[in-house]
Amino acid sequence: MTGTTWTDLARWAAARLGLPDDEPVSLGGATGQVFAHGRHVLRTGWSAVLDTELLAAGAASSVVPVPTVLDRVDDPGTGRSVVLQPLLPGSTAYVDESVGERRARRRGEACGHVHRALADLAAPAGLPVAAGLGPGTAPSGMAQSEAALPAPPGLLHLDLHPLNLLLGDDDEVVAVLDWTNTAAGPADLDRARTATVLHLDPEARLIADAPVWRAFVDGWTRVAGLDDVPPVALAWACRYMADDLAARYPAQAIAHLVTAHDRAADGVVALRR
């Protein structure tokens, strides 16, 4: 194929798949690797990463809705691939003031049920173990207390946040999206990861006091049991988030993650203001 960008790859794949001659439209996200193309979605990525995503999503499809894979094309020369999926109806779970508190809480509860559905699902063979469960180098100022976490073979999504859950008009989950971070490990890690996203992500902290957002988070928390996350899992999630955000934010903007990590390492879970 010609071109080196993900957009180039999406165009190339659309032609190979015989899709109409439309321009792929980026659906956003941190990586910029997912595109709308008419009534379809083109999910681009490194072939090995997509292999893992599809392995996890296929296993999870027994308990939660995931996008159907319609086709796939591989470019062996670059080690990249494109998966063709339907463009699903609905909207992301994210809420703003236009939604209202009652509906926001209902949408949060729907998201919380995803955690409950995945909690007892075994990880398929071949899924990598979640990063940081064994000895390694922690970010500056963070202790290595979470290294003692066990790693039973549970299927983890590890990015269950409002933009990765698609809800229908009835506020029920239509699809669980973006399995890029998937791994095997204790179910508590998925709950801890979501708890840190909802409370400690810099963007979430800006709207923490908005009534609709509070209702949404309360609904999610109640159903998923996010207030009951073990401190050792929360410490792991703070470290995970610090690693994830380090390239996008200055150290001062995520210094609160070090504080939250250290408190969790001391056995204190205190996410709410």
The tens digit of pLDDT for each residue in 38-51 reads 999 999 999 999 99
pLDDT reported for residue 135: 45
47 and 169 belong to one structural domain: no
Last residue of a domain, one of 44, 71, 86: 86
Query: Alpha-carbon Rg of the chain, whole angstroms?
Result: 19
Last residue of a domain, one of 50, 69, 86: 86
Residue 107 lies in a domain: yes
The three-state secondary structure class of 63 is: coil
43 and 116 belong to one structural domain: no
Mean pLDDT confidence for 55-76:
97
pLDDT reported for residue 138: 46
Which domain CATH number covers 35? 3.30.200.20
pLDDT reported for residue 151: 53
103 and 229 belong to one structural domain: yes
pTM for the model: 0.90
- Percent of the chain residues topping a pLDDT of 90: 78
36 and 100 belong to one structural domain: no
Residue 171 lies in a domain: yes
Between residues 32 and 147, the one the model is more confident about:
32
Sign of the alpha-carbon dihedral angle for 60, 63, 67, 69? positive
Is the confidence at residue 30, as pLDDT, over 80?
Answer: no
Residue 1 lies in a domain: no
44 and 133 belong to one structural domain: no
**3-state percent breakdown (helix, strand, coil) of the chain, nearest 5:** 40, 15, 40
71 and 169 belong to one structural domain: no
**φ and ψ of 41, to 5 deg:** -120, 135
Could you tell me the strand order of the sheet in which 165-167 lies? Answer: 91-92, 165-167, 173-176
Residue 273 lies in a domain: no
149 and 256 belong to one structural domain: yes
Domain count, the chain: 2
Q: Cα–Cα distance between 71 and 86 in angstroms, integer?
A: 10
Domain of residue 209 covers 91-265
Contact 24, 35 (CB under 8 A): yes
Task: Express each pLDDT in 113-172 by its tens digit.
Answer: 999 999 999 999 999 988 876 544 444 444 444 444 555 579 999 999 999 999 999 999
